[in-house]
Amino acid sequence: MRFDSLVDSVGHTPLVGLPRLSPSPDVRLWAKLEDRNPTGSVKDRAALWMIADAEKRGRLHPGATVLEPTSGNTGISLAMVCLQRGYRLVCVMPENTSVERRQLLRMWGAEVIFSPAAGGSNEAVAVAKRIAADNPDWVMLYQYGNPANAQAHFDSTGPELLADLPTMTHFVAGLGTSGTLMGVGRYLREHAPDVRIVAAEPRYGELVYGLRNIDEGFVPELYDPAILDARFSVGPRDALARTRELVELEGVFAGISTGAILHAALAQAERAVAAGIRADIAFIVCDGGWKYLSTGAYSGTLDEAARALEGQLWA
Partner 1 sequence: MAVQVRIPTILRSYTGGEKAVSGSGGTLAELIDDLDGRYDGIKARLVTDDGSLHRFVNVYVNDEDVRFLGSLSAPLADGDDVTILPAVAGG
Please give the residue ranges that form the binding site for partner 1 (CB under 8 A): 69-71, 74, 119-122, 124-125, 143-144, 174-177, 199, 201-203, 206, 208-220, 225, 228-235, 315
State which residue, 18 or 200, has the beta carbon closest to partner 1. 200
Instruction: Note if 43 is an active site residue.
Output: yes
Q: Which helix (H) or strand (E) holds 265?
A: helix 256-275
Quote the least distance from Cβ 79 to partner 1, whole Å.
Answer: 15
State which residue, 18 or 260, has the beta carbon closest to partner 1. 260
Instruction: Note if 257 is an active site residue.
Output: yes
State which residue, 11 or 119, has the beta carbon closest to partner 1. 119
Quote the least distance from Cβ 105 to partner 1, whole Å.
Answer: 15
Catalytic residue chosen out of the listed positions 22, 32, 43, 71 = 43
Quote the least distance from Cβ 240 to partner 1, whole Å.
Answer: 15
Q: Which residues pair with 212 in a beta bridge?
A: none
Quote the least distance from Cβ 118 to partner 1, whole Å.
Answer: 10
Angle at 36 between CA 35 and CA 42, to 5 degrees: 50
Q: Give the C-alpha separation, 122 to 249, whole Å.
A: 36
Q: How many CA atoms lie within 13 A of 223 on its CB side?
A: 13
Catalytic residue chosen out of the listed positions 77, 115, 257, 291 = 257
State the CB neighbour count (10 A cutoff) for residue 66.
26
Q: Give the C-alpha separation, 137 to 275, whole Å.
A: 56
Q: Give the C-alpha separation, 250 to 17, whole Å.
A: 9
Q: Give the C-alpha separation, 252 to 262, whole Å.
A: 12
State which residue, 110 or 175, has the beta carbon closest to partner 1. 175
| Residues designated catalytic | 43, 257
